[in-house]
Structure 1
Amino acid sequence: MSSFRIDKVASMIKEELSLIFLHKIQDPSLSLITITSVKLSPDLKLSKVYLSVYEKEKREEVLTKVNELKGWIRTQLAGRIRVRFVPELEFFIDDTLDYVEKIETIFKKIHESDNKEND
């Protein structure tokens, strides 16, 4: 399968999942979630969905709740997209922003130490 098709289906799934989380899920603990990316297997049967959760301390709780709703979410997705087979959904926490924060902190420390040496 061409990577263009895979990317297009992944983008469509990401957009529809975002709308499902925004409009269909009424749980307030799942309100501050962002779908950051969707990665599809080459056969389009497995979809890895990466979530960004605003409140870091609630990540595991949110992931557990989302996994409990996985079947319902997949059913909602099936009604919104036109593909022969709706992929299985696997949800993961996207911790990319944690790495960005860590690197920014390191840069700040380096910059501060450089300023102290120059004084």
Structure 2
Amino acid sequence: MAKNKFHNGPGPSQRQLRVGELIRRTLSDVLLRGDIHDPDLNRLSVTVGEVRISPDLKVATAYVLPLAGQGHDDVIEFLARNQGELRRIIGKKLALKFAPELRFRLDETFDQLDETRRLFAQDAVRRDLET
């Protein structure tokens, strides 16, 4: 089985969780206020659901979703295009010794929840759960 570089052992450390959450909050705030000098990115409302950070704190992967689900393809492109500016802002606001490289992925959590609800709503599944 392939080893996930974000999880060495049972899960992320407290430090990884803390830094990831600080980055998530800061990134959300920066995107909400439109602090980036990119009109394409500023016209989108972006939700940052989670930030996972590597054990060495050098790579942070932000799971994002455009509000109302519109512009999935564009939001990743716009964020990647502005990665350097976002990285500088996060490093400065959090006073980190080294600002991590930022990577962006679509947050598919809501899609997975919808699919789970759909499965549980099926008659055959409900029957199996009742027995």
Gaps of 5+ in 2: 1-11
Aligned mates of 1:79, 1:52 — CA distance in 2: 24
Higher share in helix = 1
Aligned mates of 1:51, 1:99 — CA distance in 2: 14
Which residue, 48, 67, 77 being the options, matches 2:90?
77
Aligned mates of 1:76, 1:97 — CA distance in 2: 28
Q: Which amino acid aligns with 1:16?
A: T
For residues 82-117 of structure 1, give each alpha carbon's deviation from its aligned partner in whole angstroms, at most 9, with x where no partner exists. 221000000000111111111212222328x96xxx
Matches within 5 A, 1:1-119: 3-23=13-33, 24-25=35-36, 27-28=42-43, 30-31=44-45, 33-110=46-123
| Structure 1 moving runs of 4+ over 3 Å | none
Q: Which amino acid aligns with 1:19?
A: D
Kindly state the Cα deviation for residue 55 of structure 1 after the two structures are TM-superposed: 3.4
Two-structure CA RMSD over aligned residues (Å): 2.1
TM-score (norm 1): 0.81
TM-score (norm 2): 0.74
Local SS of the residue matching 1:42: coil
Aligned mates of 1:58, 1:109 — CA distance in 2: 31
Kindly state the Cα deviation for residue 57 of structure 1 after the two structures are TM-superposed: 4.5
Q: Identify if the C-alpha distance between structure 1 residues 57 and 19 changes in structure 2 by more than 3 Å, giving closer, same or farther.
A: closer
Name the larger-Rg structure: 1
Gaps of 5+ in 1: 115-119
Aligned mates of 1:105, 1:41 — CA distance in 2: 33
The total of aligned residue pairs comes to: 110
Q: Which amino acid aligns with 2:20?
A: A
Between the aligned residues of both structures, percent identity stands at 27
Aligned mates of 2:78, 2:100 — CA distance in 1: 20
